[in-house]
């Protein structure tokens, strides 16, 4: 069978481009392919194409080098829309220019993709042929940008408006309300499938410019991204409802593509972000066809101020012969090495208390897949614990251990730290149903179970001064807005919970509801700190809230490079990683002699 795919020389950074022949209307798509090198001078000229692959089972046929080629229907539609009537056009489009059946070539070309987009003349964004609301959406963009230009002196002060002092942002947000526009049409635009595709992040961030095509309209991506940012800045002044989730993708893109005002392009930013930031911002929210691309689709954006060891670089080199979990595991190791700290491990959550963890997945792997944590009670958030915590007292992550896995086994993550204590008792899991009106009684019973646990393990007797410690633990030391909770804040909540604890079993349910509702604002902090987690106590009396899978015998540890404690489980010669915890009295710093006595010892934990 004749193929258009002649071998590429990766050492010369070769790629294929397509010469898209002129045509109109329903004329057949005809092209010729050419192998070019990014190392030649002058550099090859071409335009890249960014689009949503959509349903891979829907196919179409085009002609390349006189050969009929079966391609995704969306690729054919993109070429048809971008074809011009009077001349040929040189383009690069991934589904056709890469041999998708050759996993080795696929990996090599994906490794090169950042440079492919960076070296292009421009990026052509194909949004599809559905233009039902497009005219009204673009009119809305014009209305919004007219106000933005007026209030920021033609965008000259946009950076300070978005990233300046909070009082400046608040004044601007309240200066003049958002003008009236067709918000539903604009939401239609931002809800197009292209905006939810992970690959587009790297594509638009690295391309010199991005020009959108939808039906017959052509418009600048930066304009519609700026409009989204302006709406989000002014949303509190709007006379209509703004769907924050709908506006989030174009706001994320703005921060990448606006070279003057975007958050990831400011002078203090090192490249775009750490790889961990990229995983959290994009991989867990955007869609991919091949889930391994949750790692590979972002490699072109990685800031590399210092070249890491070859082993670490190999972690994220696209290789489609690796399994999904091997790819995610390697991406996690790379992200930890690059950031030189363990904050990313906050996102590791296990849903079931299984003694036998899945063999294909290391327990410390960050599941950087869209929707991977939707089923959890606790929302995915780096703000679960306050950023000011520093239980490891700035003890650095040992990068040499990350770069030299035990026995060469990449499923083992070796981390230095100390054992704080052993868990001797836990409550049931705080469930989200406890924090709604119908679950008030269950919430009160859960509070009693906390006190019963303390009575059993610490001779805790009733409502005494130690209740303050319990309440601070239940809220993980923070307000519902992730700010460090003050003494008065915790005291107010302690009074509210104490009243709830004093009600008897036969108390009228309406009275319980009334008490609960009066303290609903403060009780929201308990939901934020404890929802989907267990309250626990350790052998020497430390109290905390930890992962839902925490049980008797688990270890409370401080891992160097980690801002908060983590719970581990001994498993033969290794440990399993269960997740982060809040442990009262050790969050602000080690001070080991005061908090742990003289029994603590440093160790290396081999986690798998």
Q: What is the pLDDT of residue 357?
A: 61
- Alpha-carbon gap, residue 511 to 44, rounded angstroms: 75
Q: What is the pLDDT of residue 464?
A: 46
pTM, to two decimals: 0.87
Q: Return the SS3 of 109.
A: helix
Residue 66 has pLDDT above 50, yes or no: yes
Cα torsion 574, 580, 585, 591: sign: positive
For residue 12, the surrounding DSSP H or E stretch is none
Each residue of 161-195: pLDDT tens digit?
887 754 454 455 556 889 899 999 999 999 999 99
Q: What is the pLDDT of residue 435?
A: 85
> Are 238 and 181 contacting, i.e. CB atoms less than 8 angstroms apart?
no
Q: What is the pLDDT of residue 272?
A: 54
Residue 431 has pLDDT above 70, yes or no: yes
Locate 246 and state its tokens. Answer: 């709908």
Each residue of 75-85: pLDDT tens digit?
999 999 999 99
Q: Looking at per-residue confidence, does 394 or 338 come out higher? A: 338
Average pLDDT taken over every residue of the chain:
86
- Span of 37-41, 563-567, 582-586, 600-604 with lowest mean pLDDT: 600-604
- Span of 40-54, 287-301, 411-425, 498-512 with lowest mean pLDDT: 498-512
Q: Looking at per-residue confidence, does 374 or 349 come out higher? A: 349
- Alpha-carbon gap, residue 145 to 141, rounded angstroms: 6
> Are 149 and 226 contacting, i.e. CB atoms less than 8 angstroms apart?
no
Rounded mean pLDDT of 230-250? 90
Q: What is the pLDDT of residue 608?
A: 92
> Are 328 and 294 contacting, i.e. CB atoms less than 8 angstroms apart?
yes
Residue 589 has pLDDT above 90, yes or no: no
Q: What is the pLDDT of residue 503?
A: 65
Q: How confident is the model at residue 239 (pLDDT cuts 50, 70, 90)?
A: confident
State the pairing for strand pair 14-20/413-426: unpaired
Q: Looking at per-residue confidence, does 203 or 386 come out higher? A: 203
Q: Looking at per-residue confidence, does 532 or 352 come out higher? A: 532
- Alpha-carbon gap, residue 304 to 308, rounded angstroms: 8
Rounded mean pLDDT of 573-596? 80
Q: What is the pLDDT of residue 257?
A: 93
Please report, rounded to a whole number, the percentage of residues in the chain having pLDDT higher than 70.
85
State the pairing for strand pair 123-128/47-50: parallel
Residue 425 has pLDDT above 90, yes or no: yes
Q: What is the pLDDT of residue 286?
A: 92
- Span of 30-44, 233-247, 379-393, 467-481 with lowest mean pLDDT: 379-393
Rounded mean pLDDT of 313-318? 88
Q: What is the pLDDT of residue 380?
A: 35
Q: What is the pLDDT of residue 265?
A: 67
Residue 318 has pLDDT above 80, yes or no: yes
State the pairing for strand pair 543-547/533-538: antiparallel
Residue 377 has pLDDT above 50, yes or no: no
- Alpha-carbon gap, residue 548 to 593, rounded angstroms: 30
Strand partners, 555: 422, 568
Residue 385 has pLDDT above 70, yes or no: no
Q: What is the pLDDT of residue 202?
A: 93
Q: What is the pLDDT of residue 364?
A: 95
Q: Looking at per-residue confidence, does 387 or 240 come out higher? A: 240
> Are 522 and 530 contacting, i.e. CB atoms less than 8 angstroms apart?
no
Cis preceding-peptide flag for 42 (omega within 30 of 0): yes
Q: How confident is the model at residue 545 (pLDDT cuts 50, 70, 90)?
A: very high
Residue 270 has pLDDT above 70, yes or no: no
CA atoms within 13 A on the CB side of 302: 25
Locate 163 and state its tokens. Answer: 């990233």
Please name the residue ranges forming H helices in 258-354: 275-278, 293-296, 310-314, 324-339
- Alpha-carbon gap, residue 366 to 34, rounded angstroms: 40
Q: What is the pLDDT of residue 359?
A: 64
The CA dihedral of 72, 75, 81, 87, to the nearest 10 degrees, is: -120
Q: What is the pLDDT of residue 595?
A: 59
> Are 214 and 266 contacting, i.e. CB atoms less than 8 angstroms apart?
no
The DSSP-derived string for 363-392 is: TT----STTTTTTSSSPP-GGGS-TT--TT
Q: Which residues contact 262 (CB under 8 A, 6 or more apart)?
A: 254, 255, 256
Q: What is the pLDDT of residue 504?
A: 56
Q: How confident is the model at residue 598 (pLDDT cuts 50, 70, 90)?
A: low
Q: How confident is the model at residue 262 (pLDDT cuts 50, 70, 90)?
A: confident
Strand partners, 217: 214
Q: What is the pLDDT of residue 379?
A: 35
Q: How confident is the model at residue 509 (pLDDT cuts 50, 70, 90)?
A: low
Locate 203 and state its tokens. Answer: 């594509």
Residue 491 has pLDDT above 50, yes or no: yes
Strand partners, 90: 19
- Phi-psi sector, 241: left (phi>0), alpha (psi -120 to 50), beta: beta
Rounded mean pLDDT of 410-427? 95
The DSSP-derived string for 235-264 is: GGG-SS---HHHHHHHHHHHHHH-TTT-GG
- Alpha-carbon gap, residue 480 to 584, rounded angstroms: 18
Residue 128 has pLDDT above 70, yes or no: yes
- Span of 97-101, 103-107, 257-261 with lowest mean pLDDT: 257-261
Q: What is the pLDDT of residue 536?
A: 97
Strand partners, 571: 574
The DSSP-derived string for 30-70 is: EEEEEEEETTSSSPP--EEEE-----TT-EEEEEETTEEEE
Residue 465 has pLDDT above 50, yes or no: no
Please report, rounded to a whole number, the percentage of residues in the chain having pLDDT higher than 90.
56
Residue 58 has pLDDT above 70, yes or no: yes
Residue 348 has pLDDT above 80, yes or no: yes
Q: Looking at per-residue confidence, does 506 or 331 come out higher? A: 331
Strand partners, 72: 59
Q: What is the pLDDT of residue 314?
A: 85
> Are 377 and 548 contacting, i.e. CB atoms less than 8 angstroms apart?
yes
DSSP state of 343: G
């Amino acid at each position: 069978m004749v193929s258009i795919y002649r071998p590429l020389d990766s050492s010369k950074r070769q790629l294929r481009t397509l010469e898209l022949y002129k045509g109109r209307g329903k004329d057949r798509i005809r092209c010729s392919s050419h192998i070019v090198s990014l190392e030649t001078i002058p550099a090859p000229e071409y335009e890249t194409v960014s689009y949503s692959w959509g349903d891979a089972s829907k196919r179409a046929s085009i002609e390349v080098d006189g050969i009929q080629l079966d391609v995704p229907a969306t690729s054919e539609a993109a070429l048809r829309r971008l074809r011009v009537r009077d001349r040929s056009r040189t383009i690069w489009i991934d589904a056709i220019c890469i041999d998708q059946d050759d996993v080795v070539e696929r990996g090599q070309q994906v490794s090169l993709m950042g440079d492919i987009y960076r070296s292009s003349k421009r990026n052509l964004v194909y949004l599809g042929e559905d233009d039902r609301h497009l005219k009204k959406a673009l009119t809305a963009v014009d209305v919004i940008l007219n106000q933005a230009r007026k209030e920021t002196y033609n965008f000259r002060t946009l950076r300070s408006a978005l990233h300046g002092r909070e009082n400046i942002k608040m004044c601007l947000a309240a200066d003049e309300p958002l003008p009236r526009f067709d918000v539903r049409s604009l939401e239609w635009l931002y809800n197009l499938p292209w905006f939810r595709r992970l690959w587009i992040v790297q594509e638009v961030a690295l391309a010199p410019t991005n020009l959108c095509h939808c039906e017959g309209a052509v418009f600048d991506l930066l304009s519609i991204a700026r409009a989204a940012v302006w709406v989000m800045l002014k949303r509190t002044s709007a006379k209509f409802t703004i769907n924050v989730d709908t506006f989030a993708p174009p706001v994320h893109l703005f921060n990448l593509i606006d070279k003057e005002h975007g958050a990831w392009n400011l002078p203090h930013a090192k490249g775009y972000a750490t790889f961990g930031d990229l995983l959290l911002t994009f991989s867990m929210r955007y869609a991919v066809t091949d889930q391994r691309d949750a790692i590979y689709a972002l490699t072109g954006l990685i800031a590399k101020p210092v070249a890491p060891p070859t082993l670490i670089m190999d972690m994220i080199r696209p290789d489609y012969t690796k399994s999904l979990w091997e790819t995610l595991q390697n991406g996690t190791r790379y992200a930890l090495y690059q950031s030189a700290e363990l904050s990313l491990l906050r996102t590791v959550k296990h849903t079931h208390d299984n003694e036998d963890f899945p063999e294909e997945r290391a327990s410390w792997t960050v599941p950087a897949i869209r929707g991977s944590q939707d089923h959890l009670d606790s929302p995915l958030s780096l703000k679960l614990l306050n950023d000011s915590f520093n239980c490891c007292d700035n003890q650095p992550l040992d990068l040499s251990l990350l770069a030299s896995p035990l026995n060469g086994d990449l499923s083992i993550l070796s981390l230095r730290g100390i054992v704080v204590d052993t868990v001797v008792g836990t409550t049931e899991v705080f469930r989200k149903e406890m924090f709604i009106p119908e679950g008030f009684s269950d919430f009160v019973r859960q509070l009693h179970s906390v006190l019963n646990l303390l009575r059993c393990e610490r001779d805790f007797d009733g409502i005494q001064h130690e209740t303050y410690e319990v309440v601070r633990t239940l809220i993980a030391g923070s307000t519902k807005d992730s700010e460090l909770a003050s003494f008065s804040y915790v005291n107010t909540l302690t009074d509210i919970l104490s009243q709830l604890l004093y009600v008897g079993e036969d108390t009228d349910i309406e009275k319980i509801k009334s008490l609960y509702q009066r303290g609903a604002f403060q009780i929201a902090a308990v939901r934020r700190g404890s929802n989907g987690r267990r309250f626990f106590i350790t052998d020497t009396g430390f109290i905390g809230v930890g992962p839902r899978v925490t049980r008797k015998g688990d270890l409370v540890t401080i891992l160097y490079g980690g801002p908060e404690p983590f719970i581990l489980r001994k498993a033969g010669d290794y440990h399993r990683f269960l997740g982060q915890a809040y442990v009262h009295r050790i969050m602000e710093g080690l001070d080991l002699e005061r908090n742990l006595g003289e029994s603590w010892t440093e160790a290396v934990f081999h986690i798998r």
